[in-house]
Every structure is written in C-alpha cells, then in structure tokens.
Structure 1
Amino acid sequence: MFRKKTASIILALGVAVGAGPASAGTYGAGIENSQWYLAESVFGCSLTHEVPGYGKAVFNHRAGESMTFYLESDIPLMQPGRGRVVVEAPVWRPGTAPRNVGDVMVSDGPRPVSLGSRESMVLVQGLLSGMAPTVTRAAWYGSEPVRVQVSNINFANRYAAYRQCVGGLLPVNYDQIKRSRIPFAAGSSDLSDADRHLLDNIATYILADSTVERIFVDGHSDRYGSRITNRALSEERANVVAEYLQYQGVPEDMITVRAHGDRFPASSRAADNRRATIRLQRQGERPEMQQATGYGGSPSNG
C-alpha cells in the first residue's frame, strides 16, 4: 500500500514537471487549459478550477455563510504544517512584486488548505487584477517545495456569474436552522421581531428544500405556577410558532405540535426553559426519539 501511494506521488510530481507552466514542484494551469466551472443552486454556489497534476481550487459560498476557499487533492503532496499564501504575477507578467496574504496551516487530508472569508476575498481581488494566488509548502517527497498556483485566465466572467448565484442564495442553510429555539418572557406566548425573522428564514428554507418532510414544534415552560397552567402555556407557545409557520406557507400536515409544560427543563435557569423549539427532519434521516428528556434538552428539542 505504501509503495503504491509513493508511486502515485512520484508520478504526480512527474506530471508537474512536464505540464506545469513554471518550475518543477509548481502545479498550475497554463493559458491553453485554464478553466473555471460554476455549480449553482439556492443552497450554495461553487466556482471550481482544475489544477493539472494536483487537484482542484474551489471558491465556495454556502447559503447563510460567507465565502471560503480551499484546495482539494487526492494525493498528499504537501507536508502538514505552516505554509504560505501569496498573490503573485503569472510567468507571462514578470516584474510585478507579489503580495503576501499570510500563513496557512496545511492539514493531512483531501482538503489540505482552507481559507476564510477575508483571505478568500484577497485571492478574488488578485485574480480579477490578473494575478495568480499561490500556496507554497514543503513537499512530502523531493527537496523543492510544492507550489500550487491558481490561474486568473477565464476567471472574471465566471466570477460575475458566481456573484449572481450568491445574490440568489437562501438566507440560511439546513445546519443553521434544523434545530432552532424561540425564547419567551415569563407568562408570555408573544413573538418578538427577532423571533419572526428567524421563523421567516425557517419557512423560506422549508419551502425551498423538498427533502424536509417533518417539522416538530415543542412548547415548554418554567416551573413557576401550577402544572395545568404551565401545560396550557407551553401549548400556546407551540401553537403560536406553528401558526406563524403556516401563515408563511408551510403546509399544516408537515407540522407536529407538542406541549410539555415544565417536564423537560433545558437548564436550571428559568429563562432557558420558557421556550418553543423547532426541529426539521429530512427524508432518509434516522427518526430520533420523539420525547423530550431532562436537563440539556432532547434530540427533538434542540
């Protein structure tokens, strides 16, 4: 297995020497084979660049989050550790000083390099100005460092389409709203403006994602007052949330409403227990326990 992996890495290094536009150890597309591919939906946008001999460079923007950038490779050519990111002139534009973006931690995995929103935007600005973002790190094999260069050729037009895609993204993604919590004041079942904004986003997502098949809304109260009063108040809270989602277009038959009174506290703080929770369930997901449990909540209650 080790020999096979080693042979693959040496072969990839040979490809870099033969096909790369710069020196040995540098991976990058030339003018003749630089392409960018856009994948778009309301859930996310990605702009992918094939780096010959290495893998892919990807700008990705998931709904509800900021843009990120990562390198992807099936073969671990870079040693894990601290690498360097610069924006430099391509070989056909000599004489322009490179711009240092900063250090990056290279990991041992299929996505060894990941950058956050600020650094990703610096790379975009460099590409739009005709420069080539480059990541450099010591190689697993060989004395020269590995350099992965991202080509600006054909980037600008695809990036314009990418921005249009980003403008049409949903306000949130599934992971952000699959478990949500609506807090309430003592004795109240009134929704705040912030609550309505959250529920608007949840409803928008549900209506866009056909794989969501169930919405569980659970009402809770603190332990002040009688059991009967608390049970009724928790039911009011759950119904208020469910009715708001229905008003925003979520089908009633998708929603399961449950009221628990004060039976399942989320913590020892009364304010934490005055709540309604929303849990989404997608098709194919393993159904979780339908009943809330004690401190810390439950799978269904978030």
Structure 2
Amino acid sequence: MRQAREIHCVGIRSTVEEVRSVLTRTYPAILLALALPAQALTFQTRMEDVQWQVTGDQFACRLSQSVAGYGEATFVRNAGEPAAFELKAWDNHMSSGAAQLYNEPPAWRPGTAVVPVGRIAVKQGEGTMLVPQQQAGRMLAGLASGLQPTIMRTGFAGSDPVRVVVSSVGYQDAWLDFQKCVSGLLPLSYAQIAESLISFGSGGSGLSAQAKAMLDTAVIYIKAEEDDLKDILLDGHSDNQGNRLDNRELSRQRVLAVKDYLVEQGIDDELFVMRFHGDRYPVASNRTDQGRKANRRVMLRLEKN
C-alpha cells in the first residue's frame, strides 16, 4: 500500500513540474500580452503599400521602411559593426520614458506568440529613437520569421499609447538586397581605424600583408575624411630586446615604414605627426614572447579638426 502511495505522489510531482516548466516558458509572453492595451494609436503602413528600400556604399548599408503617418524605420549596418536600428519620427507622439519593444505576429498569423525584445528610451524633443545592436538583431530575427517589430509608449498627457509597427511584408527580398550591400562593406569602421595598431616582427620594420591590408582600409577613410582631418599621429614602439638607442631607432624605422606606405597611396605628407618611443612604454610584459609581440607596434590615430 505504501509503495502505491509513493508512486502516486511521484506522478503528482512530475505533473507539477511539467506545468511549472510550461508556465516558465510562456509567462513573459503572457505578461506582455496582458500589458498591451486594447486601445492604442497605431501607425502602420497598409500591406499593399509597404515598400523596403536598400541604400548604401562601402561605409554603411541601410534597410528602411516608411511607416505611414509616423516616420522612417531603418536598420543600419556600418562597416565593421553589427546592425543597429533607428526610428525617425516626423512628429513624435510618444512621451519621454521607456518604450516597450517586441515582435508581434501579423493579423494573418493568429495564435502566434508575441516575443518580447526589450525596452528603449524615448527622449522628449528628440526626433530619432536609437535601438542598440543586440536588440536590433532580435528585431531582424523576428522579421526573418515573419513577425513585425513593434515599439509602444504612452502618448503625451496621458493619452492612448502610441504603437509603431514595422511590417514584415516583402522583407525576404529586401533582406537579400541588404546582404548584397553588406558584402561590399569595408572590414573595419572609422572608429576602429581612427585608433589602430600595426604589429611588427622581432627586430624588423617590414609591413606584413595583414598590416598593409589594414592600412589600405585606413587610406579609404583618410581620403573620405580629408577635409575634416587635422593630423595622422604615428607612435612607434619596440620590445626591450637590445639597447635603448637601437630600440628607439627601430621604433623610428617602423613609423617611417607606415608613413611611407600611406604616402605612396596618396596621403598628404604634411598630415603626419611622428614620435619614436623605443621600449619606454610597453603595453605587456617583455618576459614572454606574447608580451614582446604586443610591444612591437605602431599606433595610428586620426584626429579631426
């Protein structure tokens, strides 16, 4: 009899755990569904009017959609960075504070769960709302699965919430065009080039193929920003192998190798400011091969006016 009761209790516990597991998986979606108001001022382009546009160059690609009555929704992929999202309002109807961001199913997919994405800040007087890269990635994943990224926030003076919906209609074809643009982006962003490191072999000042490839990218940015560029700073360094005078000369040769390569690519000689530090400023321990490798470097920095 005792054995039968114990088996029965185990069965109950198993059932309770299954129910708890289901609630744990669905609870966030249930909460979000309960939080969504029945009435909201919704901005959404009619299905037959939805148009995606892809524009870009080697510096950035943009995938955008006009949201009827509200503004422009755009995914931006800058060179060397993941995609971000921005919502530009022609006339912002949202009050300042935290807006809900979620992926919701279109009307023709009843029963599909709403997927929370996160929250973003709405600031009074600012016409553009910026969504961080991680959340933007979730929005793109939602579009890929047929869901519609949606931003919702309380309206002014306690009015009905404002709801902005990015339609998933036609997204797949637009995504293919966007990916073609992305494939032509430069491998590094301006911020990465503006403070970049060129490494050197032990005792040498020759530029590796990797260093030349990075400098080729730097040339493109320098020429694009030439009117606003004040200086190109080059700081040469060495490890501590050898005496200090030789190391200072070696750091000078490394700086000149970088400068000469850039000048050969058409960069103005007068933009350069050069300094040679030898082994005075290590960034790692010279007791290891890895540390010495890190110390053999030229730091390139771009300074704008």
Q: TM-score, normalised by structure 2?
A: 0.68
Q: Distance in 2 between matches of 1:259 and 1:96?
A: 61
Q: Distance in 1 between matches of 2:84 and 2:216?
A: 26
1:239–1:99 Cα change, 3 Å: same
User: 1:232 — aligned with what?
Assistant: 249
Count of aligned positions: 251
Whether contact under 8 Å (1:88, 1:134) holds in the other structure is: yes
Range that drifts further, 166-175 or 135-144: 135-144
User: 2:15 — aligned with what?
Assistant: none
Whether contact under 8 Å (1:217, 1:255) holds in the other structure is: no
Q: Which amino acid aligns with 2:150?
A: T
Secondary structure at 2:80's aligned position in 1? Answer: coil
Does residue 277 of structure 1 match 2:296?
no
CA positional deviation for 1:66: 0.6
Q: Percent identity?
A: 30
Q: Which amino acid aligns with 2:168?
A: N
Matches within 5 A, 1:1-302: 24-108=40-124, 109-116=126-133, 118-182=134-198, 188-190=203-205, 197-207=210-220, 210-213=223-226, 216=232, 218-221=234-237, 225-226=244-245, 229=246, 232-243=249-260, 245=262, 250-251=265-266, 259-262=274-277, 269-271=281-283, 275-280=297-302, 286=305
Q: Which amino acid aligns with 1:277?
A: M
Secondary structure at 1:260's aligned position in 2? Answer: strand
Unaligned runs of 5+ in 2: 1-37, 285-294
Secondary structure at 1:125's aligned position in 2? Answer: helix
Q: Which amino acid aligns with 1:61?
A: R
What do the CA deviations read for 1:258-290 (whole angstroms, capped 9, x no partner)?
Answer: 653449x9xx84448975333457xxx63xxxx
What do the CA deviations read for 1:146-186 (whole angstroms, capped 9, x no partner)?
Answer: 11111111222111100111111110122221233446689
Secondary structure at 2:135's aligned position in 1? Answer: helix
User: 1:12 — aligned with what?
Assistant: none
1:135–1:239 Cα change, 3 Å: same
1:184–1:167 Cα change, 3 Å: closer
1:23–1:36 Cα change, 3 Å: farther
Q: TM-score, normalised by structure 1?
A: 0.68
Q: Distance in 2 between matches of 1:112 and 1:78?
A: 11
Range that drifts further, 53-62 or 70-79: 70-79
Range that drifts further, 214-223 or 83-92: 214-223
Unaligned runs of 5+ in 1: 1-21, 287-302
Q: Distance in 1 between matches of 2:299 and 2:154?
A: 49
1:112–1:54 Cα change, 3 Å: same
Secondary structure at 1:53's aligned position in 2? Answer: coil
